């Protein structure tokens, strides 16, 4: 299955606990999808009639989970909007091994940009990456289709 | 929309390229991920104070010029860096992991992720037989000196999480019941009211709950931080703010004299 392969790839270098968290989140989304399917959900039917299928939705669940649990938190620290230069000109040392500085922020920004490019190329609304239920994801993907009509 | 016959191979190819190029950057330990979120919230809070015209300075840097972030309430805050936010002759400290005890009972205490306290608030050094067998001290400040305690949660919001923040709010802020503290809820106040920063976005029902909590308690719950909801400033945010008695006078006195002398 494509979504399982993608999940494995994205999780490959992560800590076991984090891999488990991603797995739990994706599994919950999949269970919710199965439930929605029993309800003749009009938004889901709209997606199916526009060439979406379950496997594609599951890929979106994997990308969403990776973003929410890994990239989102990392991206948080890489914004350097403060005038005082904390985290960029003035590095932050967090414990003995973690350092937040300009070089780290640059690398993270580049990584997040690459990920966002994937989302754009897949024609998924980036808002979907922040949602927390399969129901909301289905609704927002379908909403885009209605708006395109 | 593309069909699955080309969409799926395309996403597989792009993810493979992404992993090859960036796995070293994103393969962090969970501790580092939650630290990253906390640092992001810290930046957002400093950004807010800068927008509110406070002067921001960093204090107690290491000899290498680094900001030494306190990561655990067991550390002595005096050995770590912190931020001073000042406006005119008024100044506040923005600190991390500062243990706060409630004036209602000193045994009710906890360490919020970020705290704004009056400058030079006494940091008490305390020994207790039930802490490290009485061999080590811990450090704490009184809830009387706290303007706002903020909490960072890199999670999706859920009702129990949101309600638990009300308990933190009651514990950490004496001004909640003691009106002699001079801290009041005020739309034009300069301080952000106690805020819980939440990484995930909220569903519609949760948004209604947040709105209700913010209506009945002088606190904020900001969701969707992972989606870039970092701007805490501006009227569109409709966040609760606090006025500390004397701040606005200090702001008026701090404004350049030219402002008073200029005529339309």
Residue B253: per-residue pLDDT? 80
Question: Residue B108: inside a domain, yes or no?
Answer: yes
Number of domains in chain B: 1
* Chain B residues within an 8 Å CB radius of A51: 1-4
CB-based contact, A8 to chain B, within 8 Å: no
* Chain B residues within an 8 Å CB radius of A49: none
CA angle B60, B118, B244 (to 5 degrees): 140
Within 13 Å of residue B73, how many CA atoms lie on the same side as its CB?
Answer: 19
Are A51 and B47 in contact (CB < 8 Å)?
no
Closest CB to A86: pick one of B4, B25, B67. B67
First-residue to last-residue Cα distance in chain B: 57
Q: What pTM was computed for the model?
A: 0.89
User: For chain A, which ranges sit under pLDDT 70?
Assistant: 80-81
Question: Residue B134: inside a domain, yes or no?
Answer: yes
Question: Residue B138: inside a domain, yes or no?
Answer: yes
Distance from B150 to chain A by nearest Cα, in Å?
Answer: 16
pLDDT (tens digit per residue) in B92-125: 999 999 999 999 999 999 999 999 999 999 999 9
CB-based contact, B75 to chain A, within 8 Å: no
Residue B257: per-residue pLDDT? 56
CB-based contact, B73 to chain A, within 8 Å: no
DSSP B194: S
Question: Residue B95: inside a domain, yes or no?
Answer: yes
Nearest CA in chain B to A139: B203
Residue A48: per-residue pLDDT? 95
Domain housing B79: 38-261
Residue B261: per-residue pLDDT? 58
Closest CB to B4: pick one of A53, A78, A131. A53
Containing H/E element for A54?
helix A54-66
Closest CB to A84: pick one of B30, B33, B46. B46
**Residues A90 and A100: beta-carbon distance below 8 Å:** no
Residue A14: per-residue pLDDT? 94
Question: Residue B15: inside a domain, yes or no?
Answer: no
Question: Residue B23: inside a domain, yes or no?
Answer: no
Query: For residue B108, which phi and psi values (nearest 5 degrees)?
Result: -90, 105
pLDDT (tens digit per residue) in B18-35: 999 999 999 988 888 988
* C-beta atoms surrounding A112 within 10 Å: 19
Alpha-carbon distance of B62 to B81, in angstroms, equals 8
Closest CB to A83: pick one of B34, B50, B66. B50
**Residues A78 and A99: beta-carbon distance below 8 Å:** no
Alpha-carbon distance of B114 to B222, in angstroms, equals 15
User: For chain B, which ranges sit under pLDDT 70?
Assistant: 1-4, 235-236, 256-264
CATH number of the domain within which B213 lies:
3.40.91
Residue A116: per-residue pLDDT? 95
Question: Residue B180: inside a domain, yes or no?
Answer: yes
* Chain A residues within an 8 Å CB radius of B33: 18, 69-70, 73-74
DSSP B231: -
Are B71 and A95 in contact (CB < 8 Å)?
yes
CB-based contact, B101 to chain A, within 8 Å: no
Which residues of chain B from 12 to 31 reach within 8 Å of chain A, CB to CB? 12, 14-16, 18-19, 21-31
Residue B177: per-residue pLDDT? 92
Question: Residue B11: inside a domain, yes or no?
Answer: no
Within 13 Å of residue A64, how many CA atoms lie on the same side as its CB?
Answer: 31
């Amino acid at each position: 299955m494509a979504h399982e392969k993608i999940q494995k790839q994205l999780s490959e270098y992560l800590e076991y606990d984090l891999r488990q968290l991603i797995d739990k989140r994706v599994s919950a989304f999949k269970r919710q999808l199965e439930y929605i399917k029993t309800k003749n959900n009009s938004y889901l039917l709209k997606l199916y009639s526009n060439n979406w299928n379950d496997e594609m939705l599951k890929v979106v669940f994997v990308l969403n989970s990776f973003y929410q649990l890994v990239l989102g938190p990392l991206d948080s620290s890489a914004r350097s909007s403060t005038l005082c230069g904390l985290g960029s000109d003035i590095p932050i040392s967090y414990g003995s091994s973690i350092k937040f500085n300009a070089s780290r922020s640059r690398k993270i920004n580049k990584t997040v940009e690459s990920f966002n490019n994937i989302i754009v190329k897949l024609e998924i609304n980036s808002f979907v990456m922040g949602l927390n239920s399969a129901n909301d994801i289905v609704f927002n993907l379908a909403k885009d289709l209605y708006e395109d009509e | 929309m593309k069909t699955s016959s080309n969409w799926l191979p395309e996403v597989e190819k792009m993810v493979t390229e992404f992993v090859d190029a960036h796995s070293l950057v994103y393969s962090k330990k969970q501790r580092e991920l939650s630290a990253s979120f906390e640092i992001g919230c810290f930046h957002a809070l400093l950004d807010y104070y800068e927008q509110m015209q406070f002067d921001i300075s960093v204090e107690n840097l290491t000899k290498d010029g680094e900001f030494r972030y306190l990561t655990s309430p067991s550390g002595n805050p005096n050995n770590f860096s912190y931020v001073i936010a000042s406006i005119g002759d008024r100044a506040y400290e923005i600190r991390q992991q500062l243990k706060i005890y409630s004036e209602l009972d000193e045994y009710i205490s906890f360490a919020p992720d970020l705290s704004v306290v009056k400058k030079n608030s006494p940091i008490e050094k305390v020994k207790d037989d039930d802490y490290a067998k009485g061999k080590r001290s811990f450090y704490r400040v009184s809830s009387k000196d706290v303007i706002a305690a903020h909490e960072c949660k890199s999670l999706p919001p859920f009702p129990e999480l949101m309600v638990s923040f009300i308990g933190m709010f009651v514990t950490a802020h004496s001004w909640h019941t003691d009106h002699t503290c001079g801290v009041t809820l005020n739309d034009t106040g300069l301080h952000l009211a106690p805020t819980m920063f939440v990484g995930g976005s909220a569903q519609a029902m949760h948004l209604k709950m947040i709105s209700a909590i913010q209506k009945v308690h002088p606190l904020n719950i900001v969701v969707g931080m992972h989606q870039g909801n970092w701007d805490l400033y501006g009227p569109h945010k409709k966040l609760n703010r606090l006025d500390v008695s004397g701040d606005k006078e200090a702001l008026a006195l701090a404004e350049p004299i030219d402002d008073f002398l200029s005529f339309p």
